[in-house]
Homo-oligomer: A and B are copies of this chain.
């Protein structure tokens, strides 16, 4: 693993825990962690059971005892490391957004070739979102009319907050790559490709290099229209990642702050009994849940990384494709790129 920040903890936990909850066809070893701040690195290695530490990422990809390289660095290092690791024959896992821009993402996909890869769009494995996917796949929403998503946070709503996420060179973008990327990935998963979009990005903090918020209107291939909003200036929300879909046969609504629940309105039911069903997605019938705890015993944020890794390893062993892979990450990047262009040009863009 290369990187040692907050996401490094979440990934370390996933490597650490995946075999406790899932039957994994590999005996994972946490060989080495790489970071530049050595004292923090040593502490983190000790805490999470990494066997070795390195301060240069090249050292990681040169190790013979490493088959998988996981990239959790700031965004500006994703492309360079991923391409290097892929060329060194490693399987590459990479935090989202895949890259700072479309050019980098394209190079990364080329480097990864047809081999297995993973982008950490961990929310795909929220049980409630996996359930949403199957409800859509079963046709229970009918023809889709509206797709609506928002990712609202407030931790950035202070000009004095700093870090690499606010530096354009390091991060590529602000709310676009950090938050909108998640919304777009889930939208593509649940509602298919978009045909055009119009967007604006906005920076509230004086002098900040990246966007604090972004608004998007979109049309999808399936005829539905969509709206997206992501913000780090949404006072009152901490991590509210919501989507709502209206189709001819029903509605779905999800909120990450209540990630163990899914709302489903079945417009096919008896008229006098129709209402939004608040499904507590903690039953053995629900995706992933049987691996965790009994009904009603909720899971947290970290379990989405564990389930992602479990699926990846299981598919790897079975020779099955896994999603989201680098190609999926590129599709998201293509849309983020259009979002930024649309905002600059103040116009609709085809996709």
Contacts and interface: CB of A to CB of B under 8 A. Distances in A.
Interface of A: 6, 10, 12-13, 16-17, 19-20, 47-48, 131, 134-135, 145-146, 148, 150, 152-155, 157, 198, 200, 202, 204, 213, 215, 217, 219, 223, 225, 227, 229, 231, 233-240, 246-251, 256-267, 271-280, 282-283, 285-286, 292-303, 346-348
B6 A13 contact: no
A301 B229 CA distance: 30
Given A229-B227, A275-B279, A277-B273, A296 B238 contact: yes
Given A145-B204, A272-B285, A298-B301, A246 B229 contact: no
Contacts of A19: 47
A348 B348 contact: no
Given A259-B298, A347-B347, 16 more contacts: A19-B47, A145-B213, A145-B235, A146-B233, A204-B223, A235-B247, A235-B249, A235-B265, A239-B282, A257-B260, A263-B275, A271-B283, A277-B278, A292-B300, A299-B301, A300-B300
23 contacts: A13-B20, A20-B47, A134-B272, A146-B229, A148-B150, A148-B229, A215-B227, A234-B246, A234-B251, A235-B250, A235-B251, A236-B276, A239-B297, A240-B296, A271-B283, A272-B283, A275-B278, A275-B280, A278-B278, A293-B302, A298-B298, A298-B301, A299-B300
Contacts of A239: 282, 294-297
B251 A236 contact: yes
A277 B274 contact: yes
Of A215, A235, A279, most B-chain CB atoms within 10 Å? A235
A129 to B, nearest CB: 14
Contact of A236 (B233, B259, B267): B267
A344 B295 CA distance: 32
A164 to B, nearest CB: 15
Contacts of A248: 157, 235
Contact of A275 (B217, B264, B267): B264
A85 B350 CA distance: 50
A121 to B, nearest CB: 16
Contacts of A346: 198, 347-348
Nearest to A302: B293
B217 A200 contact: yes
A6 B280 CA distance: 20
Contacts of A276: 236, 277-278
Contact of A277 (B131, B225, B256, B277): B277
B217 A236 contact: no
A309 to B, nearest CB: 16
Given A229-B227, A246-B233, A347-B347, A146 B213 contact: yes
Contacts of A264: 273, 275
A200 B198 CA distance: 10
A292 B303 CA distance: 13
A238 B47 contact: no
A279 B273 contact: yes
A322 to B, nearest CB: 23
A17 B21 CA distance: 13
B272 A286 contact: yes
A141 to B, nearest CB: 8
